[in-house]
Amino acid sequence: STARITIDRDFTVGEVPRRLFGSFVEHMGRCVYTGIFEPGHPSADERGFRRDVLELVRELGPTIVRYPGGNFVSGYNWEDGVGPVDERPTRIDGAWHTIETNAFGLHEFVEWAREADVEVMEAINLGTRGVDAARALVEYANHPAGTAWSDLRRENGAEDPFDIKVWCLGNELDGPWQIGHKTADEYGRLAQEAGKAMKLVDPSIELVAVGSSGSGMPTFGEWEYTVLGHVYDEVDYLSLHAYYQEHDGDAKSFLATAVDMDYFIESVISTADAVGAKRKSRKRINLSFDEWNVWYQTGLDTPDQPHNVGKQWRKHPRLIEDEYNVTDAVVVGTFLNSLLRHGDRVTIANQAQLVNVIAPIRSEEGGAAWRQSIFWPFARMSQLARGSILRTAVTSDRIDTAKYGDADAVDVSATWDEESGRLALFLANRGLDETADVSVKLGGFAASAITRAEVLTVPEGGDRFSSNTQDAERVGLTPLEGVSVEGSAVTLRLPALSWAVVEVA
């Protein structure tokens, strides 16, 4: 296939919101326990943080990490996770049918986040709890000293406030599966009052209201409109969640699912702006896409599926440890493109999750840590998408899909970093069998050199289902040969089913 892309230095979407490269750590399965935290592991530091996992996290480069859930947070008492570890209660976690020891809690996460060089994004429980627990947590975390909650934090070892800026007002409360599931009006009022009380404690915080758990939810649209009707003045962001998978071998549709992500984002922007217009408000609500990824939710009957795990009460059982392949990595690349293209309004996004649970990083108890295929598009985009997001005009051959109609064979996003003088192109070829010849016209750039050209595609001797294991990381980046730059034109050839990054200086 062929694709022509035109970009111009003066045609920008806005600055790259660095929080777009966020991730998510939930008390779920083995994300915390035997993921980021495993006292006794050969690589663990004195606090039990796995250094091998930390190293991979730094290489992946998330900027902000959401914690502690997820469905987990809707039944969680944050107080259980602070204070002397041996005095913390062991509880049942109903969301994941798990025994929670509370050996890891807020202080541990804040310290881990410092080690990993990421910002903390904290979710509060609006499932079983309310205004009082929410404002107490903000006071505990962010108030300097001299009050009961802030002094308790200091007694518990943290002299300085945690200074957590971004707070999620609950999780997926539109979902019937959620502990404390609510109607939009019930949630909207509670979130408004909790948010108000939290900002009275610390006016500098930023608040995320719960949006829909997916664009397929029966309440999608109505939920956003009603909730924002209550919280418009209190909150800064509205959340979106989406998980996608390949169904019945329909790889063409799967590879085009970012079309649905585009639709979802644009629908939520329209709804938020409609509420703003009705209120005659100049304020704009931004979007926090705080759970997104590929997740094989149907068609699997492996022991790590929640319906199989749910029969016994166990500590950190294996849960949804999806093994990602080449196709998944290309799709993840297109999700990141979609998020970046909408970076003027989607200003926070979190891939779910960070380690083991539908994650780019895997680890074994007492054993190795390794990168999944989906690690690579995230790592490179987090590293290189800096400066301004460029608008892209794309004329590409189209691929006909059963689910999403026609989609561009070549998907792209681009950034320009004035400071380093680098232009980065992130490209995906959705064609399963065809290479793609791509020409990029650069307006307003005096490009003279290709400083990076890498591609992720089907490895030698493998196929589109090839994946990585702890013994062999077969799917990764290799040099993309034959990229040329001449004056204002870059030309390149993408292999069939591939994701690539090209950087020009």
Q: Which residues bind ligand AHR (CB under 6 A)?
A: 26, 28, 69-71, 171-172, 213, 291, 352-353
Residue 62 · residue 293 · CB < 8 Å: no
Residue with tokens 């561009």: 408
Query: What's the Cα-to-Cα distance from 452 to each of 378, 446, 455, 477, 490, rounded to whole Å?
Result: 16, 17, 10, 11, 13
Q: What is the DSSP string of 414-471?
A: EEEETTTTEEEEEEEE--SS--EEEEEEEES-----EEEEEEE---TT--TT-B--SS
Which CB sits closer to ligand AHR, 375 or 416?
Answer: 375
SS3 content of the chain, % helix, strand, coil (to 5): 30, 30, 45
Which CB sits closer to ligand AHR, 190 or 423?
Answer: 190
Q: How far is CA 277 from the centre of its chain?
A: 29
Which CB sits closer to ligand AHR, 171 or 373?
Answer: 171
364 is annotated as an active-site residue: no
Q: Please state the closest distance from residue 357 (CB atom) to ligand AHR, in A.
A: 7
Closest-CB residue for ligand AHR?
Answer: 70
Q: List Cβ neighbours of 432 (8 Å cut-off, separation of 6 or more).
A: 251, 252, 255, 464, 496, 497
Which CB sits closer to ligand AHR, 25 or 256?
Answer: 25
Structure letter (DSSP) for residue 27? S
Which CB sits closer to ligand AHR, 353 or 468?
Answer: 353
Instruction: Round to whole Å and give the CA distance between 48 and 37.
Output: 5
Query: What's the Cα-to-Cα distance from 165 to each of 195, 198, 283, 334, rounded to whole Å?
Result: 13, 11, 19, 29
46 is annotated as an active-site residue: no
Phi, psi (degrees; rounded to nearest 5) at 113: -60, -35
Q: Please state the closest distance from residue 213 (CB atom) to ligand AHR, in A.
A: 6
Q: Please state the closest distance from residue 67 (CB atom) to ligand AHR, in A.
A: 12
Q: Please state the closest distance from residue 72 (CB atom) to ligand AHR, in A.
A: 6
E strands present in 177-254: 206-209, 237-244
Residue with tokens 């949804």: 320
Instruction: Round to whole Å and give the CA distance between 389 and 393.
Output: 13
Which CB sits closer to ligand AHR, 52 or 291?
Answer: 291
Single out the catalytic residue among 139, 291, 321, 503.
Answer: 291
Single out the catalytic residue among 172, 224, 321, 503.
Answer: 172
Instruction: Round to whole Å and give the CA distance between 167 and 198.
Output: 9
Q: For residue 474, give the amino acid letter.
A: R
Structure letter (DSSP) for residue 19? G
Which CB sits closer to ligand AHR, 363 or 457?
Answer: 363
Active-site positions? 172, 291
